Amino acid sequence: MNKSYFNRKLMNRWLFIIPILLLVCFSFSISVYAQSAGQTEFKKNIQLINPHPAFSLKLQLGLERGDSTSYVPGERMVLSFESTKDAYVTIYQYDSEGRVKIIFPNQSNPHEFVRGEHLYQVEELLLPLDSGFGPGYIQGFATARPLLMVRDNRYPDILTQEFPVISFKLGDFTISLRNLFSQQPSENWVSSNILEYQVVRPHYVSERVGRVMAISFPRGAEVYLDHEYQGVSPKRIEDIQTGQHLLEFVMPGYEIWSKTITISRNRTTQAEANLVPVEAYGEISLTCEQPNALVFVDGKEYGKTPPKGTLVIRDIKEGYHELTVMKPGSQNYRTWTQTVKVLGGETLPIYVSLSKSNY
């Protein structure tokens, strides 16, 4: 009797639990479906299709990552694109919060004109640290004549920023594009395939680590953390123990940048360095067939030419300078003037022949 009672009680519990489990599974399925359906609907809303295109534009994301399209905030993305004929290309990035960015043309590639059947890359595209988690999209348009950038009265001012946000309302932006392309002949424009990627939360192997996103201007500087080489800027360094660390940027022709940074648990620290050019100096070795000619650099007198040999002018700052040689008190010789380029650590040889004047 006790056993029978126990079995009935157990059966009643399962009859109570099973419907709850089924409801949870059903709700999860509905949520996944709704999310998937929402993303599909989103792509439909932003997709502009030319039914009779005369050429094509193809985008590809992540050549160095294989098929992976998941990124964390601060991560570098590599975008490649190719048009089948010469065209004017504009590429936009849409994030999960409805912001629209221009990612091509950009500061590194300010011209929208591209050659047909040439592969181009946008290599310095970084996901901002404040990127919302979720799907993002990239879409491009190619036109037979300048259209999209000319249409924006902020061009070329918008290219003073790196990948600027041009709209915070994706819906209005898409409607504007539809209206624009509806007035164009089909042979004059084409839209690309739409690339989709996911912005995901960073994964940490330990609760006592963080990361740093190291960016230098100009880019390409070597990055060192605690005197250990990490790669080239922009560089994301993972799994750094919390606490203080020494970050350094090293680049030829620029002063070494160093700073102590603090790494916090499960956070990304962004470090940006504006590198300062190192002042370099060279010299000019000047030979002239006329002795006692006055020598000027940028209007400043540096001496006279010797009867024999050369006049060496030292400590000339690297760059372009105006070099002038003239024979004082004589109307028989022309004044010689030329713009010369001095390189740091090098000697620039110059030979001057003061031709006689006809006067």
Between CA 146 and CA 341 the distance in angstroms is 38
Residue 66 has a pLDDT of: 43
DSSP string over 78-115: EEEEEESSSEEEEEEEE-TTS-EEEEES-SSS---EE-
* pLDDT tens-digit series, residues 72-100: 877 778 889 999 999 999 999 888 888 88
Q: Which two tokens stand for residue 198?
A: 């996911």
DSSP string, 211-240: EEEEEEESS--EEEETTEEEEESSEEEEEE
Task: Give how far Cα 294 sits from Cα of 61, 303, 319, Å.
Answer: 62, 6, 22
CA 205 vs. chain centroid, Å, equals: 29
Task: Please tell me the pTM assigned to this model.
Answer: 0.53
Could you list the pLDDT tens digit for every one of the 359 residues in the chain? 455 655 565 566 656 666 666 655 544 444 434 344 445 566 667 778 888 889 999 998 864 444 447 888 777 788 899 999 999 999 998 888 888 888 888 877 888 899 999 999 887 777 776 667 788 899 999 999 887 765 555 555 566 677 788 878 888 888 888 888 888 898 999 999 988 888 887 765 556 888 898 989 888 899 999 999 999 988 888 889 899 999 999 998 899 999 999 998 878 888 999 999 888 899 999 999 889 999 999 999 999 999 888 999 999 998 899 999 998 877 778 889 999 999 888 999 999 988 776 55
Q: What is the DSSP string of 183-209?
A: TS-GGGEEE-PPEEEEE-PPP-SSTTE
Are the C-beta atoms of 177 and 152 separated by less than 8 Å? no
Cα diameter, the chain: 136
Report pLDDT for 67. Answer: 41
Which domains are assigned to the chain? 47-199 (2.60.40.2550), 209-274 (2.60.40.10), 281-352 (2.60.40.10)
